[in-house]
Amino acid sequence: MPALAEQRARRWGREYETIYILRPNVDPDEADRIAARFADVVRRLDGRMVRVDNWGKRRLAYAIGGFSRGIFVYVRYVGYGDLVAEIERNLRQFDAIMRFQTVLLRTGVDPTSVQVDAEETRFARLEPSPLTDEDRPVSLARQLASVAAEVASGEAAARAELGADAGEAGAEGDAESTGAEADADEE
């Protein structure tokens, strides 16, 4: 019976993963503050960090805030239901974070029984890298100019294609009318 009472008293946690995307021009000190806050929230709410990976600078599927690249950070952790809400609330407070997403991996996890390698839970310091044109935010005027150029080139190609089609149709029409005139001459 005591084992059953102990099992009922045990809180079961959940395993989550969060990926957040930093601006490509983020200051390394700002990235360290974000990492420290993330780790502090997990520790304060009785969670445990399982793995941290810095995936580095990657191309985004679409521009976010004018940026076409971002620095991706992956964090896997175990905690209780209130942990995710608090982590996401803290991530929203940093302007350097463009997007984040949390996914529930599994339920019924005992956070005290999770094996953790201290080396895998260390946030790596970002090294400042030289900014490329893709790392700088794209202004609205530059985006509009790019779209206008694409539309103009598409319209020019369409006109050229229509002109070629009209020339072929005109040549076929001339041949048909010549045949009609020949038929009229025979009568």
Q: What's the pLDDT at 13?
A: 87
**In this predicted model, what pLDDT tens digit does every residue of 44-96 receive, in sequence order?**
998 999 999 999 999 999 999 989 999 999 999 999 888 999 999 999 999 99
| Bridge partners for 171 per DSSP | none
Superfamily of domain 2-135: Ribosomal protein S6/Translation elongation factor EF1B (3.30.70.60)
> What is the pTM for the complete model shown?
0.65
The whole-angstrom separation of Cα 141 and Cα 143 is 5
* All residues at 6 or more sequence positions from 88 whose CB lies less than 8 Å from its CB, including other chains: 100, 102
pLDDT band at residue 20, thresholds of 50, 70 and 90? Answer: very high
**In this predicted model, what pLDDT tens digit does every residue of 97-143 receive, in sequence order?**
999 999 999 888 877 777 766 666 667 677 766 666 666 666 666 66
pLDDT band at residue 151, thresholds of 50, 70 and 90? Answer: confident
pLDDT band at residue 26, thresholds of 50, 70 and 90? Answer: very high
Which residue ranges make up each domain of the chain? 2-135, 139-187
